[in-house]
């Protein structure tokens, strides 16, 4: 119950505090959006000092009063220091490499501050995910592992940047809501059927053992490795020719949305995502045909990302 209550209180508190909409980066944390509240230990410490102070005043015990007052002064100063740990901070960038749904997304939050003041032991929270950050020479980074559940754009929740420095008496926090569109790829199907065996241009001929016959050569295409270029035949033909290798089965695979019509939408996306990865792993050229667009044929990380992105951004089925 106390935990539930605390969570409710925190939600209520958060709903009152700025910002209430995502902000474009960079976000500067000014003093008006930094909040300082005492921790449990802070309250205990305050009670301790109050007891000391009242006892000392009652006895007119000046050394004891001096002790209580010096500690109180230091405690108050620590509140200011806690506040200053955050104010003046800037959230410069927030971004993440896309991951398949279901895998944690590493959100990198880049923080910056004019150096000169120590800002160490900052804590960055986003939902359940927490990470610590320290600003060395005015810059630092926190890496948050956000859970992902579905493909598409992910707008992260508000980030809470907080610290208990320096004495642990106060909890200083602020919220930042960076406008960051993070992409989550579709979850690849786990036990998918093997890749469809080719199609398109390359499907007519099986590749042969490497030789120097011209019909084993084909025209150079962007992205072919240099060592595959057949320089002599190229010189004869006047255009670049590339030797087809035996294992490069030569065929371009076509991953066609329409051919999977029997599956529900998400399953189709999931299978295509799996096949894209599979094709990449096997070094195959592939084309992805989706309703309204066609990608490739090509191969390589850029193509893979383009394909997965297209898959991820397909409209969600309305059930």
Partner 1 sequence: MPSTDAKRGAPLDAATRGWCYAAAAACLLPLLLQLPHATALAIAPCALAVAALSWRRPLPWWLRALLALAVFGTVFAAHGFAFARDTGCALLAAMLALKPSETVRVRDARSLLGFALFAPFATFLLDQGPLSLALGLAGACLALVALLRLSGFEAGIERGSGDWRLFRAALGLVGVGLPLALAAFWLFPRLAAPLWGTPGMSQARPGLSDSMTPSEWVDLLSDDTPALRVQFFGATPADIQRYWRGYTFWNFDGRTWTRALWIDAMPPAPVVPSATRWEYQLELEPTDRQQVVALDLPLSAPEGTTLDGNYGLAADRPLDEPRRWRMRSAAPAAFDARMPESLRRAALQLPAGFNPRTLALARQWRAEAGDDDAAIVRRALAMFHDSFAYTLAVPLAGRNAVDEFLFDTREGYCQHFSSAFVVLMRAAGIPARVVTGYAGGTYNRIGDYWLVRRSDAHAWAEVWLPGRGWVREDPTAAVSPERVYDTLADRANAGDGPLGGIDALAPVFDVGDWMRRGWNDFVLGFDANRQRNLLRSLHVDADTDRALLLAFAAAAVLALAWMAWRVAREQRERDPVLRAWRRLEKRYARRGFGRPPQEPAVAWAQRLNGSSPEPSPLLVLTTRFAEWRYASHQRDPRRARELIRDLCAHRPLAGEP
Q: Which of 7, 37, 80, 302 binds partner 1 (CB under 8 A)?
A: 80
Q: Say whether residue 37 binds partner 1 (CB under 8 A).
A: no
Least Å distance, CB 18 to partner 1, is: 21
- 101: contact with partner 1 by CB under 8 A: no
Comparison of 133 and 217: residue with beta carbon closer to partner 1: 133
Do you find a cis peptide bond into 200, omega within 30 degrees of 0?
A: no
Q: Please tell me whether residue 191 adopts helix, strand or coil conformation.
A: coil
Q: Is 75 in the site for partner 1 (CB under 8 A)?
A: yes
Q: Is residue 252 within 8 Å of residue 289, measured between CB atoms?
A: no
Span from 6-14, 75-83, 241-249, 268-276 in contact with partner 1 (CB under 8 A): 75-83
Q: Tell me how crowded residue 111 is: count the other CB atoms within 10 A of its CB.
A: 26
Helices (H), the chain: 2-16, 40-59, 62-86, 231-237, 265-281, 301-312
- CA 209, CA 216: separation in Å to the nearest integer? 9
Nearer to partner 1, 159 or 310 (CB): 159
Supply the minimum distance, in Å, between the C-beta of residue 4 and partner 1.
14
* Minimum CB distance to partner 1, residue 290 (Å): 41
Residue 126 CB neighbour total at 10 angstroms: 23
DSSP label of 33:
G
Specify the stretch interacting with partner 1 by CB under 8 A; choose among 6-14, 71-79, 92-100, 234-242.
71-79
Q: Is 75 left (phi over 0), alpha (psi -120 to 50) or beta?
A: alpha
Applying CB under 8 A, among 29, 45, 230, 248 the residue interacting with partner 1 is 45
56 forms part of the interface with partner 1 (CB under 8 A): yes
The single residue among 25, 28, 64, 92 that binds partner 1, judged by CB under 8 A, is: 64
Which residue carries 């011209």 as its tokens? Answer: 214
* Residue of 8, 117, 221, 237 that binds partner 1 (CB under 8 A): 117
Scanning 4-12, 113-121, 247-255, 297-305 for contacts with partner 1 by CB under 8 A, the matching segment is 113-121
Handedness of CA 150, 153, 157, 160 (dihedral sign): positive
Contact call for residues 255 and 297 (beta carbons, < 8 A): no
| Interaction of residue 139 with partner 1, rule CB under 8 A | no
Residues forming the site for partner 1 (CB under 8 A): 41, 44-45, 48, 52, 55-78, 80-81, 84, 88, 114, 116-117, 120-123, 132, 134, 163-169
């Amino acid at each position: 119950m106390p935990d539930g209550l605390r969570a409710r209180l925190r939600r209520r508190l958060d709903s009152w505090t700025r910002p209430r909409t995502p902000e474009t980066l960079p976000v500067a944390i000014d003093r008006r959006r930094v909040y300082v509240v005492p921790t449990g230990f802070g309250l205990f410490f305050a009670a301790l000092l109050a007891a000391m102070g009242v006892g000392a005043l009652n006895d007119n015990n000046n050394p004891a009063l001096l002790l209580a007052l010096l500690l109180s002064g230091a405690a108050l100063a620590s509140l200011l220091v806690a506040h200053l740990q955050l104010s003046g901070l800037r959230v410069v960038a927030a971004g993440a490499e896309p991951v398949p749904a279901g895998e944690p997304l590493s959100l990198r939050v880049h923080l910056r501050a004019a150096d000169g003041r120590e800002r160490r032991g900052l804590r960055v929270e986003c939902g359940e995910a927490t990470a610590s950050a320290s600003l060395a020479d005015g810059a630092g980074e926190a890496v948050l592992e956000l859970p992902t559940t579905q493909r598409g754009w992910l707008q992260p929740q508000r980030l809470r940047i907080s610290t208990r420095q320096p004495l642990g008496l106060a909890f200083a926090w602020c919220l930042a809501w960076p406008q960051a569109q993070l992409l989550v790829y579709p979850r690849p199907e786990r036990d998918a059927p093997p890749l469809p065996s080719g199609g398109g241009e390359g499907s007519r001929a099986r590749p042969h053992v490497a030789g120097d016959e011209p019909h084993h050569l084909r025209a150079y295409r962007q992205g072919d490795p240099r060592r595959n270029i057949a320089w002599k035949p190229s010189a004869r033909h006047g255009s670049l020719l590339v030797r087809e290798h035996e294992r490069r089965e030569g065929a371009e695979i076509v991953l066609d949305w329409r051919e999977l019509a029997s599956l529900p939408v998400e399953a189709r996306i999931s299978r295509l995502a799996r096949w894209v990865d599979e094709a990449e792993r096997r070094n195959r050229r592939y084309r992805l045909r989706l309703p309204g667009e066609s990608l490739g044929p090509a191969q390589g990380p850029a193509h893979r990302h383009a394909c997965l992105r297209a898959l991820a951004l397909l409209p969600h089925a309305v059930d």
